[in-house]
Amino acid sequence: MRKKMIFLFIGLIFIVAGCYIVPVQEEQPAQALEWKLVTVRATGSGAPPARAVNPAQARLMAERAAKLDCYRNLLEETYGINISARSNVRNFILKNDSIKARVDAYVRGAKVVHTTYHDDGGVEVEMQITLRQDFRQIFP
């Protein structure tokens, strides 16, 4: 009985000795990657609508269309574009083929750099946006 107690005690010492707490070594903080400011430029075009009441309204509507097109182009360059495609085939003949492009994002800080008014009423707008550190945090 006494031998069993001694072996049990020695076994318990080995178990406890094998379970000691290992101090955790703190890793050195990784140096933050240096982010350089990136300026992205895009151009958008707008045409005057046929339903405009007068030339001034047509010009303003064309300018607005050009800005919206430019915003879309800026987003495509910075965030990318989501493409979805669908094809219907029957009897080995393509019946319907559709491709959809979608951009879903938020723009802040874009500036109009240059606006060109064409003789035909069309407007071309060039815009730029500067991507800062907070933009990089969106994409891990």
- C-alpha distances (whole Å) from 111 to each of 66, 102, 108 are 13, 23, 9
pLDDT in tens, 53-104: 999 999 999 999 999 889 888 888 887 777 777 888 888 777 787 877 777 7
Instruction: Report the alpha-carbon distance of residue 44 to residue 41 in Å, rounded.
Output: 10
Instruction: Report the alpha-carbon distance of residue 35 to residue 133 in Å, rounded.
Output: 6
The residue ranking higher by pLDDT, 80 or 117, is 117
pLDDT score, position 113? 95
Pair type for strands 111-117 and 123-131: antiparallel
pLDDT in tens, 25-54: 666 555 555 667 888 899 999 999 989 899
pLDDT score, position 127? 94
Instruction: Record the pTM.
Output: 0.61
Q: Tokens representing 106?
A: 């938020």
Residue ranges of domains in the chain: 35-138
The helix/strand/coil state of 32 is coil
